[in-house]
Amino acid sequence: MAGSRSAAPRVGVLALQGDFREHLRVVGALGAEPVSVRRPEELASVDALVIPGGESSVMDKLSRTFGLAEPLRHAIDTGLPVYGTCAGLIMLADTVLDAIPGQRSLGGLDIAVRRNAFGNQLDSFETDLDIPQLGAPDVHAVFIRAPVVESVGDDVTVLASLTDGRVVAVESAHLLGTAFHPEVTGDTRFHRYFLDKVRDHMERAHV
């Protein structure tokens, strides 16, 4: 992958479908070099990747159409830092409990997610989350037809849960996932947290 200790990280955003433009703006504003990723050669040029919100089944189909699915799986397996929001979290899950027929995830996070977790009556809502890793104040989280994490493996750390205990943010090694959309609130702490992971990864790669 690209990058050096002194260079700004090149952060790709999977730009097949969904709200990728918002993520490109945020990572650029935080000093990273934003890169739209639609082809394998663009994926190969980045130090990290964000998989945005959108429709996970459509992202799955388009990633296969564009020849990106297997390169994405390989990049995840070999340690590329990846942050998935909403549909991106579904894409990173090893298990999708309510996948449509033929739908595949990329995997990497030892979690099981449910896509349509809140039903038709609560497609979208907002709440505040206490996330110690990000400090005060609470994170104002926007959920838009959001998934939830129904089970986590031993190597997965839960970062945030709803008051009813349902898990909505996780991390494991180089992977980070949230069921909500921090790119729409103006609170950049999750992206900063991810970029810290990216810079640590780049430094270890160049020791």
Catalytic annotation, residues: 86, 181, 183
Residue type, 73: R
Collapse the DSSP code of 87 into the 3-class scheme (helix H, G, I; strand E, B; otherwise coil) and give the result. helix
Residue 32 tokens, joined: 């990273």
Distance CA 160, CA 193 (A): 14
Contact criterion met (CB below 8 Å) for 39 and 72: no
Q: What does the alpha-carbon distance between residue 156 and residue 111 come to, in Å, rounded to a whole number?
A: 8
Q: What is d(CA 54, CA 91) in angstroms, rounded to the nearest whole number?
A: 11
Q: Select from 124, 164, 156, 153 the least CA-distant residue to 141.
A: 124
State the DSSP H helix or E strand holding residue 126, giving kind and residue range, or none if neither: strand 124-129
